[in-house]
């Protein structure tokens, strides 16, 4: 099927209605465009698992603060369209701002507690904006399965909570972070980095690697791990830490001792570009398995 580009809510509802009548399973990947391999990994999984794949591109003004990059956010529509065609996506929902937020729009979703932690501290209102657009998109598309990337870890926790609290009849799948060869997590905002900044951006991955090494060697005190991560980042001249936290994967509360399943999350500004990354601490079994594999290879 050729990619259909639809810009109206009625239009996409009409098209999806016929698929739903035939009991087709609908997979959905909401995005803000500027697609990279991270998005493509979600789209490919959706393609494998569903009869119909819908992707949305909408740069959501509600999730940007006043001094943030809404106006500069990359919008390479033609490139995105080609990528989606190549991945055999069926439907691209590409609405304008008026279609989504008419002048009279006045509702917002708030996920108490969770929205003010981690990134929420320096981006007030961001997660309320995310939850509001995501719920709107869920109500428009009514997907069976929706795909998100683990890079936006807090976003995935908040969306899962909203889906559970509001009984949204959709399955949420979270797929692993996709990284460049050197470890930098893919993000549409990486496009802002010049050569020097791109080199410095590696500090997030370096700090997470440092944390992993410490945990593998038996360190569990969160404060110690976070301090070492801060030291790693201090070596990078253009980097300024926003936060580094080790948190419970559901409540996002700081944990005193890091254990498997907890999440190490950080946000760092490289000059004007704010980047995030995270690591879910693997289970001991997984660590032992990796060590066994490594030993096997070295024999
Ligand atoms: O992760 C994103 O790209 C956005 O936050 C989302 C989920 C598409 C909502 O605008």
Over residues 136-195, the pLDDT tens digits come to 999 999 999 999 999 999 999 999 999 999 999 999 999 999 999 999 999 999 999 999
Task: Give a yes or no: residue 213 inside a domain.
Answer: yes
Task: Give a yes or no: residue 109 inside a domain.
Answer: yes
Residue 108 DSSP label: -
Confidence of residue 1 (pLDDT cuts 50, 70, 90): confident
- The 10 Å Cβ neighbour count of residue 259 is 14
Pocket of ligand 1 contains residue 246 by CB under 6 Å? no
What phi-psi label fits residue 271: left (phi over 0), alpha (psi between -120 and 50 degrees) or beta?
A: left
What pLDDT, on the 0 to 100 scale, is given for residue 293? 72
Domain total in the chain = 2
Do 167 and 220 lie in one domain? The reply is no
Q: Inform me whether the pLDDT recorded for 221 exceeds 90.
A: yes
Do 73 and 136 lie in one domain? The reply is yes
Comparing 297 with 57, which gets the higher pLDDT?
57
Residue of 30, 56, 186 with the most ligand 1 atoms within 8 Å of its CB, for mutation: 30
Residue 254 DSSP label: B
Domain span at residue 142 reads 4-175
Contact 253, 263 (CB under 8 A): no
Contact 126, 65 (CB under 8 A): yes
What pLDDT, on the 0 to 100 scale, is given for residue 23? 97
Do 119 and 10 lie in one domain? The reply is yes
The domain that contains 60 carries what CATH number? Answer: 3.40.50.620
Do 109 and 139 lie in one domain? The reply is yes
Q: H or E stretch including 113?
A: none
Do 217 and 94 lie in one domain? The reply is no
Percent of the chain with pLDDT over 70: 97
What pLDDT, on the 0 to 100 scale, is given for residue 287? 65
What pLDDT, on the 0 to 100 scale, is given for residue 298? 66
Percent of the chain with pLDDT over 90: 94
Confidence of residue 295 (pLDDT cuts 50, 70, 90): confident
214 Cα: distance to centroid of ligand 1 (angstroms): 33
The domain that contains 238 carries what CATH number? Answer: 3.30.1300.10
What pLDDT, on the 0 to 100 scale, is given for residue 296? 73
Do 170 and 135 lie in one domain? The reply is yes
Q: Inform me whether the pLDDT recorded for 267 exceeds 90.
A: yes
Convert the pLDDT of each residue in 104-117 to its tens digit. Answer: 999 999 999 999 99
What is the average per-residue pLDDT within 6-17?
98
Do 167 and 19 lie in one domain? The reply is yes
| Closest ligand 1 atom, residue 137 Cα | 9
Q: 256: burial class by Cβ within 10 Å (0-12, 13-18, 19+)?
A: exposed
Residue of 29, 41, 63 with the most ligand 1 atoms within 8 Å of its CB, for mutation: 63
- Residue 258 bridge partners (DSSP): none
What pLDDT, on the 0 to 100 scale, is given for residue 272? 96
Do 85 and 135 lie in one domain? The reply is yes
Do 240 and 214 lie in one domain? The reply is yes
Pocket of ligand 1 contains residue 52 by CB under 6 Å? no
Contacts of 31 (CB under 8 A, 6+ apart): 39, 55, 56, 57
Contact 174, 151 (CB under 8 A): no
Q: Inform me whether the pLDDT recorded for 290 exceeds 80.
A: no
130 Cα: distance to centroid of ligand 1 (angstroms): 6
Residue of 28, 29, 31, 153 with the most ligand 1 atoms within 8 Å of its CB, for mutation: 31
Task: Give a yes or no: residue 42 inside a domain.
Answer: yes
292 Cα: distance to centroid of ligand 1 (angstroms): 38
Mean pLDDT estimate for the chain: 96
Q: Rg of the chain over CA atoms, in angstroms? A: 20
What is the average per-residue pLDDT within 2-13?
98
288 Cα: distance to centroid of ligand 1 (angstroms): 35
């Amino acid at each position: 099927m050729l990619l259909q580009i639809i810009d109206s809510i009625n239009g996409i509802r009409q098209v999806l209605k016929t698929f739903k009548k035939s009991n087709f399973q609908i997979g959905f990947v909401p995005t803000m465009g500027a697609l990279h391999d991270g998005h493509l990994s979600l789209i490919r999984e959706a393609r494998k698992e569903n009869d119909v794949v819908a992707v949305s591109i909408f740069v959501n003004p509600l999730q940007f603060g006043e001094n943030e990059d809404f106006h500069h956010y990359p919008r390479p529509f033609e490139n995105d369209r080609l990528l989606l065609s190549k991945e055999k996506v069926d439907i691209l929902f590409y609405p304008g701002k008026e279609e989504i937020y008419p002048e009279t729009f006045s509702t917002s979703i708030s996920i108490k507690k969770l929205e003010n932690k981690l990134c929420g501290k320096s981006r007030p209102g961001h997660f309320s904006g995310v939850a509001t657009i995501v719920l709107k998109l869920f109500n428009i598309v009514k997907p069976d399965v929706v795909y998100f990337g683990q890079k936006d870890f807090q976003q995935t926790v908040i969306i899962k909570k909203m889906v559970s609290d509001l009984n949204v009849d959709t399955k949420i799948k979270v797929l692993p972070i996709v990284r460049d060869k050197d470890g930098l997590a893919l993000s549409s905002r990486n496009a802002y980095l010049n050569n020097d900044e791109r080199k410095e951006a590696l500090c997030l991955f370096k700090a997470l690697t440092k944390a992993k090494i410490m945990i593998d060697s038996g360190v569990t005190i969160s404060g110690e791990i976070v301090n070492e991560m801060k030291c790693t980042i201090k070596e990078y001249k253009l980097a300024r830490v926003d936060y580094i936290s080790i948190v419970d994967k559901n409540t996002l509360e700081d944990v005193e001792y890091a254990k498997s399943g907890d999440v190490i999350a950080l946000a760092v500004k490289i000059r004007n570009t704010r980047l995030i990354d995270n690591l879910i601490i693997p289970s001991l079994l997984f660590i032992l398995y990796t060590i066994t594999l490594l030993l096997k290879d070295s024999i």
